[in-house]
Structure 1
Amino acid sequence: MTISDDVLNASCRYEPIGEAERRRFQEQGWLLIPGALDAATHRRMVNAVDTIYAEEERAGGLRGDRSLHLLGFFSRNPEFAELLDYPTTFRYVWSLLGWNIYSHHNHIDVNPPVEPGPLPWNWHQDGYRQNSDVDLSPRPMLSLKICFVLSDLTEKGRGATQIIPGSHLDNQLAGRPAKTSDPYVNPPGAVEIQAEAGDAFVFDRRLWHSRSLNTSDVTRKLIFVGYTHRWIRPLDEPRYHPDANWQLGLSAVRRQLLGSGPDHANFWGVRQDGWIDDEIPLRAELRRRGVLDGSEPYLR
């Protein structure tokens, strides 16, 4: 789990992805980012997640199987903020979604081993009512997620995320049992994302996916950071606010990614007079670096 110095350099986060990667993402709905976290950052994130797990355990916040699914976690530890625009992953976010974005949905997942048995049907697309209220085929992407893999998921049976590559273009998924508790066979084309600790993957929110069962001796630990357009409402309500001013020391881009903005018009990418707002932090940064001349409409 090593990354060259030039990849970790802060400027790398503003290098657009290549056309081959863009096409593969558009066709498959996901991409693996090997070695996304350097060893030191990986250790810090594991320690931060372990600390939160212990806090939730003391507070009675774990589920019956001792798993944790914690929404809106950024304010729990200031170190998490660097994941918002981490160099090896953020370049995929703005390259695929554009500059008028923020992080609307985030969760930490910790899944200790459980006894073998049937896993309830959990195949889904993200977005909830976006999958009902938008009557198009296929529906628009609207959001994507970066998943930071903290534990070794290179072997099956460790609870890795299951996906169906290419399924983001299908509004429906066949194979759902009559009741979610009924046994079932995974849909055709389902695969586990077998990743090393420190890897990451990015996926289209429309990609049909599900968690698999962790029957190993390894605890599954993942951090998911979701991004969408700033004119879409947030999904999470942070459960913990140690300090209302905790964002003040962050960069302007990170504050944007956490949802800040001077007024409602700004979230739509314009000034109060209706003209495009060139001072939106991520747009201003990309413009300064000469990246806004791309072929995609949201990068113009």
Structure 2
Amino acid sequence: MSLVLTESQQRQFDEDGFVLVENALTPDTVDRLVGVVNDLDTRYRKMQNIAPDAAFQVRNALAHHEELFRLIDHPVLFPMVVDAIGPNIQIRTSHMDVRPPCPAEFANQPLGAKDSFFPWHSDGPDFGYPVTNGAVPFVEVKVGYYLTDLSEHNAGAICVVRGSHLMSPKRIHDPEHPIDPARIFEVNVKPGTAMLWRTALWHCLTPNLSVKTRKCLYYGYHHRWIRPADYLHQSPELLARCTPVQLQLLGELNGGAKNYMGDDPVHPISRHWRPREEDLPVKTWYEEQLKLKENGGIR
């Protein structure tokens, strides 16, 4: 039994690789997040001498502002994440993406072309994930939060290829296997919409030919036995104010324990590989929520 994903959503997630959630963020939350993004964008562009019209990204975004941190266990999307990939998870990455209007000549580039400003790709480490039976194993989901209006064509929206998570990424730019245009979905959404998606999906961006800057946030969740991409440990100050669930999502073990059980030099065991029950507060929370659902209500 799932906590919040409906049968149709689960089917779409399995077959297409993504699910859209309209009004996931309230208008007030969107306004606050846009303000945070604007402040960070201004500060870091100046700090790093980045032109105002250049695309810009902040990684490990959750550590840069309380409003960004709060999204790691968002009450609408986080239950969907756990339904999708299970409770033995942590944050792999969090990033803030800002894309001002781009040069008009970008419109002449074929969508997602290998030599374009943003080629088709799937997310993964350098050298890629292993491919098994022609596909990448299911190891990660991302949540995208869209803060600006992307409802019009060529406003910088992400495009995904439906069902491409079931194909080898080695085929992305294979001229013998061109992408079927009928399977391309441009994520034209209103502010406050979120997307839960499998990062093995092939994706690219449309050029932002609008007059507005595109602003969005992404949070990637993967299994705890895989290393995160943009941090090793968060700051002690951030960890000190976390709930047990949030500590797990930031890769920490219960009570600040180290990675290995005991001091046995002969048979050390990673608690990310063989976790104890107390290392998985997300699992405890999830099971409690399922029981509440069975009894007629979810907190």
> So what's the TM-score if we normalise by structure 2?
0.81
Partner of 1:257: 249
Is 2:287 the counterpart of 1:287?
Answer: yes
Deviation at 1:130, TM superposition (A): 7.0
Aligned-partner residue type, residue 161 of structure 2: I
Alpha-carbon distance change, 208 to 285 in structure 1, aligned in 2, over 3 angstroms: same
Say which of 258, 273, 291 aligns to 1:268.
273
Partner of 2:213: 219
Aligned-partner residue type, residue 220 of structure 1: R
Aligned-partner residue type, residue 194 of structure 1: N
Aligned-partner residue type, residue 236 of structure 1: D
> What per-residue deviation string (whole Å, max 9, x for no partner) do you get for residues 161-206 of structure 1?
011111111114657389xxxxxx9752222100100101011011
Number of equivalences? 268
| Structure 2 gaps, min length 5 | 110-115, 260-269, 295-299
Partner of 1:8: none
Deviation at 1:137, TM superposition (A): 2.2
Question: Secondary structure of 1:49's match?
Answer: helix
**Matches of 1:132 and 1:141 in 2, distance apart?**
10
**Matches of 2:9 and 2:127 in 1, distance apart?**
26
Deviation at 1:208, TM superposition (A): 0.4
> What per-residue deviation string (whole Å, max 9, x for no partner) do you get for residues 223-276 of structure 1?
00000000000111389x8x63122112111121112113333323523xxxxx
8 Å CA contact 1:159, 1:212 repeated in 2? yes
Alpha-carbon distance change, 130 to 90 in structure 1, aligned in 2, over 3 angstroms: farther
8 Å CA contact 1:81, 1:254 repeated in 2? no
> What per-residue deviation string (whole Å, max 9, x for no partner) do you get for residues 129-170 of structure 1?
574534442221100100000000000111000111111111
Alpha-carbon distance change, 165 to 258 in structure 1, aligned in 2, over 3 angstroms: same
Is 2:189 the counterpart of 1:195?
Answer: yes
Partner of 1:236: 230
8 Å CA contact 2:92, 2:220 repeated in 1? yes
Q: Percent identity?
A: 28
Is 2:173 the counterpart of 1:176?
Answer: yes
Aligned-partner residue type, residue 242 of structure 2: L
Deviation at 1:89, TM superposition (A): 0.8
8 Å CA contact 2:3, 2:80 repeated in 1? no
| Structure 1 gaps, min length 5 | 1-13, 179-184, 272-276, 295-300
Alpha-carbon distance change, 63 to 201 in structure 1, aligned in 2, over 3 angstroms: farther
Deviation at 1:218, TM superposition (A): 1.3
C-alpha RMSD of the superposition: 2.8
8 Å CA contact 1:75, 1:238 repeated in 2? no
Partner of 1:151: 148
Deviation at 1:44, TM superposition (A): 1.2
Partner of 1:6: none
TM alignment of 1:16-55, pairs within 5 A: 16-55=4-43
